[in-house]
Structure 1
Amino acid sequence: MNAAAFAANLAATLGVVLAVLLAAFAVGVRTGRHRGVDVAWGLAFAAVALTGYPLSAGHGDAARRALATALVAVWGIRLAGHLWSRARGAPEDPRYARMLARVPPERRTRYALRTVYLLQAALVWFVSLPVQLAQYLPQRLGPLAAVAVVLWLVGIGFEAVGDSQLARFKADPANRGRVMDRGLWRYTRHPNYFGDACVWWALFLLVADQPIGWAVLPAPLLMTWLLAFGSGRPLLERKLAADKPEWAAYAARTSSFLPRPPRRRPVPTDRPRNDP
């Protein structure tokens, strides 16, 4: 691998990520709502892949470059489109509203820039290291690439199907205030987060067939931690627990992350027994 070319790519993608997130920041300041940063999250990943693809021409294997770029671009653009449709015309995301409420109004703009936009820019750049490395590996793809594609399909399938099921559920006025526990949501409380993790482990597999690929293992580990234990699941579940009376029962029977059949409800100890 050409180390100098890869280093130049890292610098270029960092600049692109900053440009996307700073543009989102400008929109957030103008509208007074910062939930658009979630749209920029997916777009920034796609921008990284689409920037690295032409820069890596002549350095990386053509098939590996094309596959890594396509997988990230499709995932990022789909996610951005879905989140944009949800955010259009909606009020501020409660997560960002609570975060910004911690500081005085005169400091909120700088606080949002630092803790929301610049932090997410750093995360995008770091988590995207597997796709950036994949574009510069000169070795031809091996059998592990097929496993990566299958895992990516599982991941984006969970995300897209889960998002669609939830959107239909919320569109029915009869479900107002209720907990979504159908379809994929019957097997995991967060099919979209699980699918997201699968996508990034699939991208890691695109470089795991080479020793240098293991240097970027922290990227999918960090993304999985953020989804399952960091800013993803825990923050969302605290809000759901406060807003939805059915949440406790749903959480007791449904896996928090990895899909599995719902737990059976425990039999009360004072239930009459049918002794012979």
Structure 2
Amino acid sequence: MDLYGQKSKSTPQKITIHLLEILLLMLSYWILFQSGGDWCQRYLHIQNATGNPVRRIIIFTFNMIIFLRLAYMMVFLLKRKIPWEESISVPLAFALYYIGFPLFVLPVSAPIDGLDYFGLALFLTGCLLNTASEIKRDRWKKLPGHEGKMYTAGLFKYSRHINYFGDILWVTAYAILTKNGYAATIPIFLFCFFAFYNAPKLDNYLEKKYGEDYETYAKKTKMLIPFIY
């Protein structure tokens, strides 16, 4: 967590992350719409059901939206230093979404139904919670007199890590759209990672940085899921 106190543009690392993610997007497109589906069926024994492409189009659209959101946040909002190992680990983590969900959706050709529309709404909600909370916090911190102060307003008054909760929602939406039960393992893993590792670790850092102010905030605000947990 020492990285949160180190300011740096980390331009080479950010370029590396974006280039690797573009390669993952190209691989995702190959799997979903080109000969990659047949390759997966032949060598990975994953059925390639090509009857209805709408679900695949949605999954790839999700991929593009997440890529653009991450690019925006890294270029305009992320101020801390990015170590070189993170420039590799971040794309590897996002490969779960860019490649994992396309593999899960390959065998599925079912038409879009009501649950899928719920998934679309969940995706938009998750993206909004994550990005809007980060943008509002960034704007607040840029106001005169706010530098170095703790931000607890906006969406962060409902959850100390509302941005992480947003991530869980849009990843769950991916899983819903794949219509594949195995895809649920990814949002479950992400929830466990945030709930039992990343959020508590960040809490410890913020408590050391802001002291009693953060303790008071933590007592009245749920850690991850608004009003629940």
Q: TM-score range by the shorter chain?
A: 0.7 to 0.9
Q: Distance in 2 between matches of 1:171 and 1:85?
A: 12
Query: What's the counterpart of residue 31 of structure 2?
Result: 52
CA contact (8 A) 2:150 2:210 kept: yes
- Which letter maps to 1:82? M
1:112-261 aligned at under 5 Å gives the runs 112=85, 116=86, 119-128=89-98, 129-208=100-179, 213-230=180-197, 232-245=198-211, 246-260=213-227
Deviation at 1:175, TM superposition (A): 1.4
Q: Distance in 2 between matches of 1:173 and 1:120?
A: 33
Q: Distance in 1 between matches of 2:225 and 2:166?
A: 10
CA contact (8 A) 1:131 1:203 kept: no
- Which letter maps to 2:201? L
Q: Which runs of 4+ in 1 moved over 6 A?
A: 35-38
Deviation at 1:149, TM superposition (A): 0.6
Matched, 1:69 2:35: no
Note the aligned Cα RMSD (angstroms): 3.1
Q: Distance in 2 between matches of 1:255 and 1:41?
A: 35
CA contact (8 A) 2:160 2:221 kept: yes
Deviation at 1:178, TM superposition (A): 1.9
Unmatched 5+ stretches in structure 2: 1-9, 39-47
| TM-score after normalising by structure 2 | 0.75
Unmatched 5+ stretches in structure 1: 1-30, 97-108, 262-276
Deviations 1:120-148 (A, max 9, x none): 45433335523432255222222211110
- Which letter maps to 1:235? K
Query: What's the counterpart of residue 83 of structure 1?
Result: 74
Query: What's the counterpart of residue 26 of structure 1?
Result: none
- For the structure 1 residues 62 and 160, does the alpha-carbon distance in structure 2 shift closer, same or farther, using more than 3 Å as the test? same
Q: Distance in 1 between matches of 2:11 and 2:131?
A: 29
Q: Distance in 2 between matches of 1:91 and 1:184?
A: 22
Between 184-193 and 136-145, the greater mean CA deviation after superposition: 136-145
Deviation at 1:229, TM superposition (A): 2.3
Deviation at 1:225, TM superposition (A): 1.9
Which protein is bigger by CA-based radius of gyration?
Answer: 1
Identify the match of residue 92 of structure 1 among 63, 78, 81. Answer: 81
- Which letter maps to 1:92? K
Query: What's the counterpart of residue 7 of structure 2?
Result: none
Q: Distance in 2 between matches of 1:83 and 1:257?
A: 22
Deviation at 1:76, TM superposition (A): 2.4
Query: How many pairs were matched up?
Result: 205
Q: What's the % identity of the aligned pairs? A: 17
- Which letter maps to 2:207? A
Deviation at 1:34, TM superposition (A): 5.1
| TM-score after normalising by structure 1 | 0.63
Deviation at 1:159, TM superposition (A): 1.1
Deviation at 1:163, TM superposition (A): 1.3
SS of 2:125's equivalent in the other structure is helix
- For the structure 1 residues 237 and 47, does the alpha-carbon distance in structure 2 shift closer, same or farther, using more than 3 Å as the test? farther
